[in-house]
A = this chain, B = another copy of it.
Amino acid sequence: MGYSISQVAEKFDLTAHTIRYYDKEGLLPFIDRSKAGNREFSDSDLEWLKLICCLKNTGMPIKQIKQYIEWCLQGDDTLEIRRQMFIDHRKEVLKQMDDLKENLKTIDYKLELYDSGCSIPLNGNKS
């Protein structure tokens, strides 16, 4: 009989509010409903949600994820454009990792200074 919205919320560390919001925004057009009108998530739906969270957590805006879902619904005509989307997005994720590494260096440098017990005044290298 599938998972309820609150079960899915717990599984994905989201709130039921957020999942309904994603649904409203067109990210989940394939979720079945029970007789009572409640959302019923299948295992395949969870796979979709996992991908959606992956894209969202790597900085893709909701609107673009919605665009991707729409392409999926359109069928094989959009295979190439979807593939290209993943190629482009992959590049952005690599960029994020590079930026993160660079910033980690800055943080590590500051930590070295703090660990050496060295006091750094606000206008350190001025005079």
Contact = CB atoms under 8 A, between A and B. Distances in A.
B57 A122 contact: no
Given A44-B125, A114-B82, A124-B47, A104 B90 contact: yes
Contacts of A96: 100
**How many identical chains are in the complex?**
2
Chain A interface size, as a band, is 35 or more
A108 B123 contact: no
Contact of A54 (B58, B87, B103): B103
21 contacts: A43-B125, A44-B124, A44-B125, A47-B124, A47-B125, A51-B110, A54-B103, A54-B106, A54-B107, A58-B100, A58-B104, A72-B120, A73-B122, A83-B115, A86-B111, A89-B107, A90-B107, A90-B108, A90-B111, A93-B100, A93-B107
